[in-house]
Amino acid sequence: MKINGRYIIPFLCVLILFSSCGKDKEIDTDKPFIDISFPEAFPKNCDTIYFGESLNLRILLTDNSELGTFSIDIHHNFDHHSHSTEVTECNSDPVKDPVNPFIYIKDFDIPAGLKEHETNLSITIPSGDGNGIYDEGDYHFFISLTDKEGWSAQKGLSIKMLHR
């Protein structure tokens, strides 16, 4: 039996095409979620954090598929700008100019394969730096969560940072 080459090549191309077509992966279109509603959660909107002490970050991070990373950004709110995601209004100090404001920005990895992760992370808040003690007053505690697919969620909290 003689095999005709002009039929073999198209047949192989069609065979490869159909064998490479598998079941399509379901696309993740859901954002992750940051939960601070459980009793042990910290901080919550309007909480106070003290300079020279440690805070125990307790937040619950969830996703329908897989978590990725989260970050914390603490910065002053002396000008009363807003990116709060909370409905509760906090008592604000009068507007003021920063002299030596505290700034904290850090990224954290979440162990691979998790759909839920509760943080239990100690963060030390120094009293000051080489420029003196940090300014007391209104600050924002901003949490950002990104899942493995790149969807993100944010939670912006208004807090007070004071010296004891």
Given a cut of 70, whether residue 22 has pLDDT beyond it is no
Element (H, E) at 10: helix 5-20
pLDDT for the residue numbered 26: 76
Nearest to 125 by CA among 101, 98, 102: 102
Mean pLDDT score across all residues of the chain: 90
Q: Is the Cβ–Cβ distance between 70 and 146 less than 8 Å?
A: yes
Residue 39's pLDDT is what?
96
- E strands in the chain: 33-35, 48-50, 53-57, 60-62, 67-76, 104-109, 116-118, 121-125, 128-129, 132-133, 137-147, 152-162
Q: What pTM did the predictor assign?
A: 0.82
CB 123 within 8 A of CB 54: yes
Q: Per-residue pLDDT tens for 72-93?
A: 999 999 999 886 677 788 999 9
> Whose structure tokens read 């940090």?
134
Over residues 95-122, the pLDDT tens digits come to 999 999 999 999 999 999 999 999 999 9
Which domains occur in the chain, in start order? 28-162 (2.60.40.10)
The answer to whether the beta carbons of residues 125 and 51 sit under 8 Å apart is yes
- Which among 43, 60, 84, 61 has a CA at the least distance from the CA of 146? 61
* pLDDT at 93 (0 to 100): 96
Asked if the model's pLDDT at residue 157 lies above 80, the reply is yes
Of the candidates 154, 142, 164, the one whose C-alpha atom is nearest the C-alpha of residue 43 is 142
